[in-house]
Structure 1
C-alpha cells in the first residue's frame, strides 16, 4: 500500500509529489495524459511562490530560464498612464518571473525522475476513489484495463473539474464572469524589453507580457466566447486597440477562454485532500492559480509527513491549513475580480477619467507600494 497517490501531473501535482518524496514518503503521481502538454497557459511565478519552490531545489533553474518582469506599464490611447515598479518589494525577488508552463512542467518532471525514478506514471486514469476509513481504494484504468491501487492518502491535483472532489462529496459551485479572452504568443518586436504592458482601452484591456527567447504573450478581452481563434484575427484586434503591429506568422500558441471561479467548501474530506485548481479555481487574469497551488503544497506536505511518517495527530493542523488556504484563495479571487473589472470596456469619457485617477494614485508612494504587493501576491 502506498503512502500517497497524487492524481494529476500539472505543475501543482508534480511539485507536491516532489516534496512528498523528498520527505521520505512513498508517493506516486498518476496522470491520464501519455505526454506532457506543450500548451503554456500559466506563465507568471510570483515572489512568494518562487521562495516556496526553493524547498524543492528548482527555483534556480526556473530563474535561469525565465524573464524577470520588474515593471508593469499602463498605457491608454497611446499615452502613458503609470508605471508600477517592483523594485521596492521586500526580499530578493523584486520581480515576477515569466516562464512558460511547459518549461516549468519539464523542469519539475525531470527533477522528479532524476531523484525518484518511476514516481510519475503516465497513461493512468483514476476513475474512482473509495475511502474505507483506514485507506483509499483508487480504481485506475490503463488501456481499458481496470485495477485497484490502495493508498493511505489521496491528493487531488486533477484540476478545476476534479472528479476526485466529487467522489469525496465536496461541493465547489462555479461562479461565471462576463469576461472572455483570446491569448497568443508571438515574436516580440515591441521594444518593451522585459516590461509587462497593460493597454487600458475603451474597447477592453490588452495585456502584453515578455517571455523567454524573444516571445511576447498577448491577452485581449473580447465581448463573447471565441470558438475558433486565429492568429490573424487576434493581431488585427491588437492593432485596432493599441496601434501595435504583431506578425501573425510568428504565432506559436493560441487560445481562447471564458472565466469562472470555484472555491471548494472543504479542502479535506477523510483521506482525500484537494490542492490547486481542484480546491480553488481563480481567473487566469493576474496569474495567481498555479502559485496558490504551490503554496498549498508547501503548507500541506509537512502536515502529511507528520501524520504518515511520524504518527502524529494532525487534526488541528489540517483544520488550520484548510482555514488559511481558503482565506488565501478568497483573497486571490477578489483580486482577480478587480483585475477583470479594470479590463472591461468603458465609454471613452469615463475611461479617460478613470485612467487619470489611476495614474494619480500610482504616483502616490503608499498606493504604489500597495499595488506592487497586490500584483505580486504579497
Structure 2
C-alpha cells in the first residue's frame, strides 16, 4: 500500500518520487510510456534546479554528463553585439547545464530504482480519479486490464496533456502564440565551444546551444507560412535541408545535415491551471503550467514545484493542510513569472527589418554594456 501515488514518470514525477522515498514515504509512480523517449526537446537545467537536484544526490553526475554553458553571445551579421556571463548567478552552479532530457530522466530513474526498485510502474494508463475526502482512487488500465489503486494523496506530474487535470475538470487559462520553430541536433562545426549563441537576424532568431558529444542544437524561428505547427509538418513543410539553408542564410554557418540526429518542429502556447490543489490531488510541472520552451524554464519550474511540495507531504498524510495554500499561491506566481519571461524571450527573437531591426539590436547591445543591467538579465534568465 502506497502513501502517495505519482501520476507521470517523466523528470518531474521521478524527482518527486526520489524526494519522498528519501523521507521514507511509500511511493508508486504510474507511467503510461513503456520506455523513455529516445529523443529530447528539453535540454536546459538552470542553477536553482541543480540546487534542487542536489537534494537527491544527482547534481554532480548530471554536470559530468552535460555541458555547462557559462556564457551567452548575441550576434548580428557576424558581429558580437552582447555577451552575458552566468558567473555571478550562482556560487555553486555559475552556468546553465545543457543535457538532453532523456539522459536526465535515465539518471533520475536510476536514483528512484536505487531507493525502491518497485516504485516505478510503466505501461499504466490512468483513466479516472475519485477523491472521497479520505483517500483517492486511481482507475488505471494495464495491458487492457482495469485496475484500481488507492492512496491518501495523489500527485499529478503527467505533462501538458494531463489526464489527471482533465479528470478533475480543472479550468485552464490558455494562450496560443503565432511563433513557430524548427530545431535539429547535428555535429558541432562551430568555434563556439561551450557557449550559447543567439543570432538576431531580420527574418527571426536562430539559437544555437552546445550538447554533449561535440554536438549542437539549432533552433530557427519560422515565418508565418513556413508550414510547421505544434510539432506537426504540413505537406510542404520545412525539413533538415531547410533548417541548414536557413541557418546558413541567417548566420553564415554551415550545418552538417548528414549528422542530424533529431529534427522537430514546435509551436508555442501557455497553459496555466487555475488551481494546483484539488482536494487530495495536487498538480505539479507541466500538468499545472505549460510555458514556452524558449528560455528552457519549464522543466526546472516543475522540479522546483516538487521541492516546495515535499516538506508538506508528511503533514498532508497526517491530515494537516497547513502550508498548502501558500505553496499553491507561490508556485502559481512563479509559473506566471516564467511565462512572462518566455514572452520576452520570444518577442526579442521575432522578425524585424530596417530601422526597427537596428533599433532592437542596438538596444540589446546598450543594455548588455551596462554591467548591473547585464547581471540582472542573467539572473532573470537563469530563474534567480
Counterpart in the other structure of 1:167: 167
User: Deviation at 1:254?
Assistant: 0.9
1:349 and 2:326 are equivalent in the alignment: no
CA–CA distance in structure 2, aligned partners of residues 168 and 55 of structure 1: 31
Q: Deviations over 1:301-348 (max 9, x none)?
A: 11012332xx262x2300000010001001000000000000100113
TM-score of the superposition, structure 1-length normalised?
Answer: 0.97
Counterpart in the other structure of 1:333: 339
CA–CA distance in structure 2, aligned partners of residues 89 and 33 of structure 1: 36
CA–CA distance in structure 2, aligned partners of residues 282 and 171 of structure 1: 16
CA 1:133–1:312 in structure 2 vs 1: closer, same or farther (change >3 Å)?
Answer: closer
Divergent runs of 4+, >4 A: none
SS in structure 2 at match of 1:173: strand
Greater mean deviation of Cα atoms: 85-94 or 140-149? 85-94
Counterpart in the other structure of 1:363: 369
Q: Say if 1:29 and 1:119, in contact at 8 Å, map to a contact too.
A: yes
Greater mean deviation of Cα atoms: 117-126 or 222-231? 222-231
1:283 and 2:292 are equivalent in the alignment: yes
Counterpart in the other structure of 2:124: 124
CA–CA distance in structure 2, aligned partners of residues 161 and 261 of structure 1: 13
TM-score of the superposition, structure 2-length normalised?
Answer: 0.96
Out of 223, 245, 251, which is 1:236 matched to?
Answer: 245
1:248 and 2:254 are equivalent in the alignment: no
CA–CA distance in structure 1, aligned partners of residues 346 and 268 of structure 2: 9
Q: Say if 2:188 and 2:215, in contact at 8 Å, map to a contact too.
A: yes
Counterpart in the other structure of 1:215: 215
User: What is the total number of aligned residue pairs between the two structures?
Assistant: 375
SS in structure 2 at match of 1:40: coil
User: Deviation at 1:126?
Assistant: 0.7
CA–CA distance in structure 2, aligned partners of residues 223 and 162 of structure 1: 30
Counterpart in the other structure of 1:376: 382
SS in structure 1 at match of 2:39: coil
Alignment of 1:149-188 (within 5 A): 149-188=149-188
Q: Say if 1:20 and 1:305, in contact at 8 Å, map to a contact too.
A: no
Which runs of 5 or more residues in structure 2 are unaligned? none
User: Deviation at 1:90?
Assistant: 3.7
Q: Deviations over 1:170-197 (max 9, x none)?
A: 1113210110000110000101000000
User: Deviation at 1:229?
Assistant: 4.5
Taking only aligned residues, the RMSD between alpha carbons, in angstroms, comes to 1.1
Counterpart in the other structure of 1:106: 106
Q: Say if 1:229 and 1:255, in contact at 8 Å, map to a contact too.
A: no
CA–CA distance in structure 2, aligned partners of residues 217 and 329 of structure 1: 26
User: Deviation at 1:230?
Assistant: 2.1
CA–CA distance in structure 2, aligned partners of residues 294 and 186 of structure 1: 28
Greater mean deviation of Cα atoms: 226-235 or 174-183? 226-235
CA–CA distance in structure 1, aligned partners of residues 365 and 143 of structure 2: 57
CA–CA distance in structure 2, aligned partners of residues 89 and 138 of structure 1: 42
CA–CA distance in structure 1, aligned partners of residues 174 and 144 of structure 2: 31
CA–CA distance in structure 1, aligned partners of residues 165 and 62 of structure 2: 31
